Amino acid sequence: MHNAINACIKTFFILAISLGSVNTFAENSQEFGDYVIHYNAFRSDTISTEVAKQYGLTRANNRVLINIAVLKKVLNTTGKPTSSVITGHASNLTGQLKQLEFKEIKEGTAIYYLADTKISDGEFLKFNIKIIPEGETRAARLKFDKRFFTY
C-alpha cells in the first residue's frame, strides 16, 4: 500500500518536473476534511513533446493546463489517490467564463485530472473549481488565480 502511494506522489511530481518551464512552476495544496488537493496551472508549451503526445495535449504558448490530484489522508503515508468528480471554470478580468473540462488520467495507482483553456498575453484568470471525492457528498471548493504570459 505504501509503495502504491509513493508511486502516485512520484508520478505526480515526475509529471510536474516534466512540465517545468521558464515560468515559475509551483505545486500548491489545500486540505479539505480527510483529503489533500494538489493543484497547479501552467502554459502547455512547457510540457515535453512526448508527454503531450502520450496524453493527447496541445502544446502552445496560448494554452494553459490545470492539473489536480486528490489524496485521501492515511496515517503515516503521503495519502491515497482518490477518484473524484471535478468541474469548474476560469474567469478573466472582463468577466469572460472559460469552462474547464477535466480529463481523468490514471498511471498505475496515480490519479490526476487535467483541463486546458486558451489564454491571451497577460491574462489574469480566477479559477473556481468544485471537487467531489468518490464516496463523498460534500464538495470542496478550490479557488486560486494566476496571470499568464504568451511570450
| CATH code at position 109 | 2.60.40.3340
As given in the structure block, the three cell numbers for residue 62 are 496560448
Render pLDDT for 130-148 as a digit per residue (tens, 0 to 9).
Answer: 999 999 999 999 999 999 9
Please check the confidence at residue 3 and state whether its pLDDT lies above 80: no
pLDDT of residue 20: 41
Amino acid found at 24: T
The domain of 70 spans 2-147
pLDDT of residue 29: 95
Query: Residue 10 — very low, low, confident or very high, per pLDDT cuts 50/70/90?
Result: very low
Task: Confirm if 39 and 19 have CB atoms less than 8 A apart.
Answer: no
pLDDT of residue 151: 86
Helix (H) or strand (E) holding 90: strand 84-91
Q: pTM (2 decimals)?
A: 0.81
- Count how many domains the chain has: 1
d(CA 1, CA 60): 38
